[in-house]
Each structure stands twice: as structure tokens, then as C-alpha cells.
Amino acid sequence: MLRRFLPFVIVAGLSTLFLFTAFQNVAWRSLPQSIGLGDRYGPSEEEKANALPDLRAGRPQDEGFGKVSEGVFKEPEVESHSPYPVGETKAAGSMYTKCLVIARMSEEWTGWIDEELGDMLDDGLLSKAVYVVDDRSALLHPPMNKGHEVMVYLSYIIDFYDKLEDVNIFMHWHRFAWHNNELLDTDSALMIRHLSPERVTRDGYMNLRCHWDPGCPAWMHPGASERNLDKQEEKHIADSWAELFPLDPIPAVLAQPCCAQFAVSRDRIRALPKQRYIHLRDWLLRTELSDYMSGRVFEYIWQYIFTASPLHCPSMSACYCDGYGLCFGSPQDFDHWFELRYQLEEFKEELRLWKEQADLIEMARKGSKNGRLGGEEMLDVPQTGTDGWLEEQIEAAGQEMEGLKSKAFERGRDPRLRALEAGREWQEGDGF
């Protein structure tokens, strides 16, 4: 986590008052303002009940959800209301340049980038922009250490606005994290290696986390009248909205998967003028909110900045398939892998408890005078052979999961199957 160490400074030329006045006269986003905004875009009760089938929080009753009909997946309309057009991808087989943007403290290690992604760096297809937030002598550093990764993300866009790569990947410094994708071993290196530049280019913005929880389908309610202690940033978003988005009404709902890691195409970044990002960073420099809270405010508005939509909750299975090349065939088959995963964890926990109890029984037996247990103690003796059975179940589930995952990667090498699972059109000769 980034902490505030440098003194508060005001960067000359970034006057919020000046920018606010300017934006009153010239819209910062030349897109239809009636799209993706306002109360009517909050999820209905039906949408909440009919969550995507690959959430495992209860499947919808409509059998059409997540089904394949005449070669096309039917997914519920929950994803986004972005008015931006679909980005134009390069010809099949073309290469895309990428830049990995990282925010770190001096003591935080990012050597994993060179160790795990050295081949991509050597090929020139991946570059890195590692900002050291508490070292002003570092080659790359932000004007102030405030707002966690937000200050770095905005500083990178401002610093490199005129020479951006095709795809720009914004991530935290650590390689492994709970909020990374489970099917990619929660490994940032694997996420970067498998990330589809075509999906990022088409969508413009891609949250790197496929899992909805936490964040979707309806997380922040900035217009709520009561303060939610579990989501304190909710009220701060509402209080700050007029300063951050002076021309837009407050949405009823802001939702996207957590946790401030995403990829954005060059064209989508440049869809907004550079001055817009300066204005956002100026707010971060000037706000009286703490380092932590000012960073939290941005976690659920990044999708609004880059998609002009308060909602960005893509199908989990489509995200894994089209975004990373892990295609299980359908949301139901995707679900099956996670059902096996949950069963595996249950078996492991049962085995742990069995061994723990067996150890206690053995200790009690060794401590008794005759090497035998009393009647009451006998009631807690684990059933003989259960450990062997559990170990067999664990091995079988693990093998099946690895087999399914291997087949999913194989299926993901076919651009037609990726398009099918993502629910988008594909023609012969098209790439990913």
C-alpha cells in the first residue's frame, strides 16, 4: 500500500478553479451525456436477482441465460452502457505494444517483472513505467505521494500522453494478490502474459479482475442518504462528484470489479483531452481527504472515466475467455471448474480437521497410563480410513481441474471460439 510521506504541495498551473471554469464552457467529453448517466441506469431488482450464471450466487431461472443457441451465447444485459464505439483492432497476427505501469514504494520489490516477463521486454513488445512514489530522485516519480496508485496512474497518462503504447496496463507492485485472477494462480505475471490486446482495443477499457465479488453488480450508491460504514468512500464520492465531474449528474450506482487494476487502449485514453487528467490529478493534490480515502474514491470511478458508464460488469466466463484465452465452452462449464475448486477446498479442510483430531487422540493415548482412551474420549476418535478417502478425492478433483484448465487454454487458441464465448461476431480470417 502506498503511504503519504511527502509534504502537501500545489503544482503551479493546475488550478482547480481555472479548470472548473473552463469545463463549464467546453464539455470535456464529446459524447452523448444522456447515455450511461442518471438514476435509470441503476440495476433493477430483476437484474440483481438474475445475476450472470457464472457468479455461483444462484443461477437465474431463465434457461436462456448463459445458453448456446444457434452458435451464439445469450448473456443478460448487465455489462455496461458505454456510448464509446468498439475499438478497431489490427489485422490478424499483428503485434501490439504494451506498457506496464506500476506504483511502488522504495522498499517494495518489482524484480519479478524482469524475471518473469524478460522475454517480452527483450522483444520490445512490453515496456515498463515503474514510479517510485517516495523517492524524488527516481527516474519516474509523481509530484506527490498521495492517493495510493491513483497519483501514479494519472501522472503516467499526463507524462506520456503523446507517446502512449497500444495497450497500457495499470497494476499494483506485488506479483501475487488475492484480488488477482484465481484461474491464473493470482499471478500478475501470468495476467500480463495472457492478456488479450485485442479485447482491450475493442473495449477500450478492461478491468483486469474477472471476478465480480467485490464490486458488482451494484456496489456503490453515491446518492444514498445514509452513510455506509462498510463503504465509507461512498459518501466521499458523492461529496466530490461535482468537483470531479462538474458537468455530470451523480449516478445512482457505480459498479465494477475491485481493485484498481485495469488496461486501457491508447485511443481510449486520448478520447479525453490531456487537460482532463490534469484536472483529476489536481483534485487529488488539493483534496483534504486522506491518502487512503482519496485513493478509494477512484477505485469505482475509473470505469466512469474511461467508459462514460457507471456500470462495468462483464461476464466472468467471457472475461477469462476473451480477455485471457481460458475458454471453458460455456458459463456452465466455467461454473463446473469452480464447483470442483470449492469441493477441493472442502475436502482439504475436512482432511485437516481429521488429522488434527487424530493428532489429539494420539497425544491423549500417549499420555494415558495404559495407552488406552476413556469412554468419552472414544467418541471423538476420527473414523479409520477417512483420511485415505479424502486424499483420493483431493487428488481426483485436482487432476480434473488441471485437465479442464488445459483444455480451456487449448480452446482459447481458436479465435472463433473466443468470439463465440464472448458473444461477439466473428468471420473467417478474423483474429482474436
Residue 41 has pLDDT above 70, yes or no: no
Q: Which of the four pLDDT bands, split at 50, 70 and 90, describes residue 380?
A: low
Which pLDDT value is given to residue 175?
97
SS3 state at 132: strand
Reported pTM: 0.80
Please state whether the peptide bond connecting residue 259 to the residue before it is cis, i.e. omega within 30 degrees of 0. yes
Residue whose entry in the numeric block shows the C-alpha cell 478509494: 296
Query: For the chain, which residues make up each domain, given as ranges?
Result: 16-43+78-314, 331-422
Q: Give the β-pairing of 98-104 and 167-172.
A: parallel
Residue 423 has pLDDT above 80, yes or no: yes
Higher pLDDT, 19 or 281: 281
pLDDT in tens, 249-269: 999 999 999 999 999 999 999
Indicate the average pLDDT of the chain: 82
Q: What is the largest CA-CA distance in the chain?
A: 91
Residue 369 has pLDDT above 70, yes or no: no
Percent of the chain with pLDDT over 90: 67
Q: Which of the four pLDDT bands, split at 50, 70 and 90, describes residue 374?
A: low
pLDDT in tens, 159-194: 999 999 999 999 999 999 999 999 999 999 999 999
Can you tell me the distance from the alpha carbon of 209 to that of 300, in angstroms, rounded to the nearest whole number?
13
Strand partners, 69: 72
Higher pLDDT, 426 or 41: 426
Which pLDDT value is given to residue 79?
65
Percent of the chain with pLDDT over 70: 78
Q: Which of the four pLDDT bands, split at 50, 70 and 90, describes residue 403?
A: very high
DSSP state of 55: G
From its phi and psi, is residue 36 left (phi > 0), alpha (psi between -120 and 50) or beta? left
Residue 56 has pLDDT above 70, yes or no: no
pLDDT in tens, 221-239: 987 767 777 788 888 999 9
Element housing 127 (H / E): strand 126-132
Residue 281 has pLDDT above 50, yes or no: yes
**Which of 36-45, 125-134, 145-154, 418-427 is the least confident region?**
36-45
**Which of 31-45, 109-123, 299-313 is the least confident region?**
31-45
| Cα-only R_g, the chain | 25
Residue 405 has pLDDT above 60, yes or no: yes
Can you tell me the distance from the alpha carbon of 21 to that of 19, in angstroms, rounded to the nearest whole number?
5
Rounded mean pLDDT of 128-153?
96
Residue 53 has pLDDT above 70, yes or no: no
Contact status, residue 327 vs residue 98, Cβ threshold 8 Å: no
Residue in 75, 15, 39 with CA at minimum distance from that of residue 330: 75
Which pLDDT value is given to residue 364?
75
Residue 140 has pLDDT above 80, yes or no: yes
Higher pLDDT, 81 or 424: 424
Residue 384 has pLDDT above 90, yes or no: no
